[in-house]
Structure 1
């Protein structure tokens, strides 16, 4: 019975279809898990703890990937480009031979995001550890990115507050602020252009956070597709192979 319940839970998490083409009834699976507690099977607490561990694995991988050298810069999925609202600045500067300076700025901008990403992991982990029974079951019942959506709802404000000063410091450390100031000044000196002065810190902060959520969402998808690959003793018990 226990093995059948575990198999049903895995099928529900993966969102697979039954032979009749209908989605597995997760409500029946949850009822079965609840009943299994009496017979020595998995308890609700074990299932929830297993989910939390699995999500922590995904978060650790996503945050570590973003915060390493070139985590943003060489990842085309999350690389931060020249601010799109002033794309005309990049185009104009490349035309007048300042493409190298533009490239230095983009690299420095991404280096700033990589530095700031180090602050994300404890915020994400705290959100997972604070997850209640209702939140966890909603994630199990939800879409393939339900955990990522939960993190967006519960951590975005904290991430912005934590990232903003770190991004500002990182942009100064990597000289992105100086590069951008020089680029903006060079552009503003060109004839017949409208002067620009966008909020670089706000742009970098939001793009850094967006990139983190993309990586976490990718890791969540892996967890749902192959949960037994995330090996701790508890995960083996909850998501163990049949």
Structure 2
């Protein structure tokens, strides 16, 4: 028990959340965690997430961050795929292209609001969170952010996207697109909620890009650009 107490003293206070059996298991598996100063697992995972946010999410906020990134580019929703095809067939390709561009511009505007929410989520990571992330799959950190930020991000993104549509006249463009389509003979009338659709696609794009950075850090030694990242993810390599 003294040995366990000594190990516990070397960990952060978050380690107190673990049972003695869990602590012993961690100590046996990772001798780097010793009474004289253990590896800051939570700190390493926070750094990895912050890298994903700063390197990847920031790219999405630039002009064409969504529009010219094929991995996250927002296309017309499924129910409007026929709209897109039909407009192009009747010589309205430019109108269809403009509608898609405006979806992506709105997403780029919205993602600018994400950083404070991500920062709060990263700060709130506990040791138990970090342990699960480190020993999880290649997207465990991204999943953690999805679970902790999706609801507040949606609430933040949705009004920004709605305002962005109004600011650039996207609401009028899309009204024109849908009106023209609905006026064509023998088509099923549509009236999609494009704000909700674009909000969800923006969220999907954000987490996809964070996952790219996470996978790189987990699998590419050169991406571990600090001593802490090297120490923490070396533990992952042993699992």
**TM-score, normalized by the shorter chain, greater than 0.5:** yes
Q: Cα offset for 1:51?
A: 2.0
State the TM-score, normalized to the length of structure 2. 0.81
> What corresponds to 1:33 in structure 2?
32
* Contact 1:57-1:230 at 8 Å conserved across structures: no
- Deviation track 1:13-65 (CA, whole Å, cap 9, x = no partner) reads xxxxxxxxxxxxx946654133x2x2x3x425x23212211221112112101
Q: CA RMSD in A?
A: 2.1
Q: Note the residue ranges of structure 2 that are not aligned, 5 or more in a row.
A: 1-24, 235-239
> What corresponds to 1:105 in structure 2?
99
2:52 and 2:169 map into 1 onto residues whose CA distance is: 32
1:178 and 1:218 map into 2 onto residues whose CA distance is: 35
Q: Note the residue ranges of structure 1 that are not aligned, 5 or more in a row.
A: 1-25
Q: Secondary structure at the match of 1:32?
A: coil
State the TM-score, normalized to the length of structure 1. 0.80
1:119 and 1:238 map into 2 onto residues whose CA distance is: 30
* Runs of 4+ residues over 6 Å off in structure 1: none
2:38 to 43, 64, 81: 43
1:229 and 1:222 map into 2 onto residues whose CA distance is: 6
The 1:172–1:131 alpha-carbon spacing in structure 2 relative to 1, beyond 3 Å, is same
The 1:227–1:197 alpha-carbon spacing in structure 2 relative to 1, beyond 3 Å, is same
- Deviation track 1:142-196 (CA, whole Å, cap 9, x = no partner) reads 0000001111111111111111001111122232222111000111111222221
Q: Cα offset for 1:237?
A: 6.4
Give the number of equivalent residue pairs: 210
Q: Cα offset for 1:136?
A: 0.4
> What corresponds to 1:167 in structure 2?
161
User: What does residue range 1-242 of structure 1 map to in structure 2 within 5 Å?
Assistant: 27=26, 30-34=29-33, 36=34, 38=35, 40=36, 42-44=37-39, 46-226=40-220, 229-232=223-226, 234-235=228-229
